[in-house]
Amino acid sequence: MKTSRPTTRRELLHIALATAAGSLPVLGRAQGIDTVKVLAGFAAGGTVDTLARRVAAHLNGGYAKAAVVDNRTGAGGQIAISALKAAAPDGATLLATPMSMLGIYPHTYKKLPYDPVADLAPVSLGVVFDMGFAVGPQVPASVKTVPEFLEWCKANPTNANFGSPAPGSVPHFVGELIGRAGKVDLRHVGFRGSQPAILDMLGGQIASVSAPVGEFLPHLGGGKARLLATSGATRNKFVPGTSTLVEQGLKDLVFGEWFAFYLPGKASPDAVQKAHAAIHAALADPGVVSGLAAMGLEARSSTPAELAALLKADTEKWGPIVKAIGFTAES
């Protein structure tokens, strides 16, 4: 019979450390994930990309050993969502997406390559924000409000247009509703993200852009981009000197949007909980909050259930609006 030897102090220390590591909370150690990929359906430098990168930096070394952002642009954000749908539901692939692709697209596309409910598992809200409506050098400096812009459009119908980050998105519909309010045929030009649209506006290729307020902040100092209005019920705290559409007489035009994080639809409750805990902590970090604020984004987390309820409410809200405008992806 083999006799056992006494346990050494070094072995006892190793046992104690292993036990302690096993009891650490989820945020204190990587959960077997080497690299977490955060998918973003829009171009680098924009608001979706900023949210993805700020949160990914916080996930690096805690939730996973490393974190990267993968910009899958195109098809108005659908390519990134399809990539999430195809990913393994192991917590190693997250998606940062606007509400539009999940709550509005079902009303504008006859067929989507994903089911917003079945193929995506809600994790947490990320940010909330207002829309902004801005003009570029193609529009005279004397135009300082949206009603004045609409009057200019009536006098210059060939230049009456606006860009948005994607056809069928909230910024697109805000622009459409602005045109309708002024009885102007404001032609829409869809882009792959807000920044490409703003760059074309700054270059004089298009007259105006409807996009999240934060997308304009880096461009307002030079004078080429002029923010005419914001879409919230009250003035936006990041640009308090700019009046709202309601203040300018467009009474019913109050709209905001949100970005949120999702896992693949078949992710386990445990995977959702771990991702939620990590993202919740990231959005509470002062550095993340201030970094998002620099892009006009207000950090705000939620429970998975709250996010699911929010998407359901917005899907129901936008149905009648889309129908009234008469927009479809084929139109």
User: Domain-by-domain residue ranges, the chain?
Assistant: 31-128+257-325, 130-230
Would you say the CATH fold of 130-230 matches that of 31-128+257-325?
A: yes
Q: In this structure, which topology does domain 31-128+257-325 adopt according to CATH?
A: D-Maltodextrin-Binding Protein; domain 2 (3.40.190)
Instruction: Tell me the residue type at 186.
Output: L
CA distance 85 to 296: 29
We find that the CATH architecture of domain 130-230 is 3-Layer(aba) Sandwich (3.40)
Nearest CA-CA partner of 42 in 72, 81, 83: 72
Contacts of 322 (CB under 8 A, 6+ apart): 104, 107, 108, 173
- Which tokens is 120 given? 């995506």
CA distance 297 to 279: 16
Long-range contacts of 277-283 (CB under 8 A, 24+ apart): 277/25, 277/26, 277/27, 278/26, 278/27, 278/58, 278/59, 278/62, 278/63, 279/55, 279/59, 279/123, 279/124, 279/126, 280/124, 281/27, 281/58, 282/54, 282/55, 282/58, 282/59, 283/55, 283/124, 283/126
Query: Could you give phi then psi for residue 66, rounded to 5 degrees?
Result: -150, 155
pLDDT, tens digit (0-9, with 9 covering 90-100), for 215-260? 999 999 988 999 999 999 999 999 999 999 999 999 989 999 999 9
Identify the three-state secondary structure at position 241.
coil
209 forms beta bridges with 134, 163
pLDDT, tens digit (0-9, with 9 covering 90-100), for 74-90? 898 999 999 999 999 99
Instruction: Tell me the residue type at 312.
Output: K
* Tens digit of each residue's pLDDT, the chain (331 residues): 444 444 454 444 443 434 444 434 444 344 489 999 999 999 898 899 999 999 999 999 999 999 999 999 989 899 999 999 999 999 999 999 999 999 999 999 999 999 999 999 999 999 999 999 999 999 999 999 999 999 999 999 999 999 999 888 899 999 999 999 999 999 999 998 899 999 999 999 999 999 999 999 999 998 899 999 999 999 999 999 999 999 999 998 999 999 999 999 999 999 999 999 999 999 999 999 999 999 999 999 999 999 999 999 999 999 999 999 898 887 6
The burial class, CB within 10 Å (0-12 / 13-18 / 19+), for 50 is: buried
